[in-house]
Amino acid sequence: MRYFVSRVMFFVLTLWAAVTLNFIIPRLQPGDPAQTMVQRLAGQSEAIDPAAIRAVQIMLGLPTGSIFEQYVDYLQAVVRGDFGISYTYFPYTVTHMIAEALPWTIVLVGVTHVLGFVIGTLLGAAAAWKRNGKFDTVVSLGSTFIGTLPFFWIALILIYVLAFTLRWFPEAGGYSGEIDPAWSWAFFGDAIYHGILPALSLLITAPIGWIMGMRNNMVHTLGEDYTRLALAKGLRQRRVALTYSARVAILPNVTGFALGLGTILGGTVMVEMIFGYPGMGKLMFDAISNRDYPLMQTIFLFTTIGVLLANLCADILYGVLDPRVRREAQT
């Protein structure tokens, strides 16, 4: 019990530190978002009126007062779930913009992350069990080769071959302009059709880390005394591979998988920019480009909370799967 309580306390302390940093970092960036907005509307070569900048600041509700007062107001807003109005997408609120982008990212990155973890872990375990064989050679060398390829190069090749040349899939967007977003099978089918290329580009490289990590971990556990004892007792090889070796070897992958789930909330900027996918990554890019502090802070906050929650779940799962972790924490 002491182990789980300490994990929860560490989560609370880290969350407070992350929220504080999330407040401070955007304010260290140079420039004024109101001035950027007015300059964009007036043109880069035009002189801007300070009164116009002040009017935009009032309209956007930019923070005023001392930095401490802003910090207190920010903490109160976080507790209320009030993240303000987006400077980039005015007059829409930050919550509205995230609510529109988040489902796209969860479906795309979440599904590919889970599939990549399952495929990579199974292939890595099989390669370790049949190590030094043809299957192990093909999987290891193939993963190493694909891992050296730049991701954006793979994405552009897929767009050129499957979208422009063969015209099997659309080259960009989350759905076609002919269908309005709605809870209908027609819209879901169109969204899945547009998401195949981004998902495929992620799935080509997603399993590689899990393959190599699982293979190396399992090769190590196969040499442990408890695995050799299980084989000497005459247990079935499948039981030894899954129950004795893979169960321990998968623990580091579980941590990586949990942390990866936490980063889903931040989206995948490169994928969504290349394919014009309307997810959290594109939203973050727009927020950073326009110094949209409320939107930037909220996306960072969601991503941080997701990573911390995922890390907490991984720690708890560690304690459940491996009792040695709990015993070490109590000593």
CA separation for the pair 293, 286 (Å, rounded): 11
Tell me where in the chain the CATH 1.10.3720.10 domain(s) lie.
95-330
CA separation for the pair 181, 168 (Å, rounded): 22
Annotate 226-246 with b (16+ C-beta within 10 A) or e (fewer).
Answer: ebeebeeeeeeeeebbeebbb
The two structure tokens encoding residue 2: 């002491």
* Band of pLDDT at residue 248, cut at 50, 70 and 90: confident
- Mean pLDDT over 41-67 rounds to 63
Residue for token pair 């891992």: 147
CA separation for the pair 163, 157 (Å, rounded): 9
pLDDT value of residue 94: 85
Span 275-319, pLDDT tens digits: 888 888 888 888 877 777 778 878 888 888 877 887 777 777 766
Look at 108-112, 194-198, 234-238 and tell me which has the smallest mean pLDDT.
Answer: 234-238
- Mean pLDDT over 255-269 rounds to 67
pLDDT value of residue 329: 52
Residue 247's H or E segment, with its range, is helix 247-249
The CATH fold assigned to 95-330 is MetI-like fold (1.10.3720)
**In sequence order, which ranges of 266-330 are alpha helices (DSSP H)?**
269-275, 280-289, 293-321, 323-330
pLDDT value of residue 29: 62
Span 129-178, pLDDT tens digits: 777 788 878 888 888 788 777 777 888 888 888 888 888 888 777 777 67
**In sequence order, which ranges of 168-235 are alpha helices (DSSP H)?**
185-222, 225-232
Preceding amide of 170 cis, omega within 30: no
pLDDT value of residue 39: 66
CA separation for the pair 209, 215 (Å, rounded): 10
Q: Is the pLDDT of residue 38 over 70?
A: no
Percent of the chain with pLDDT over 70: 74
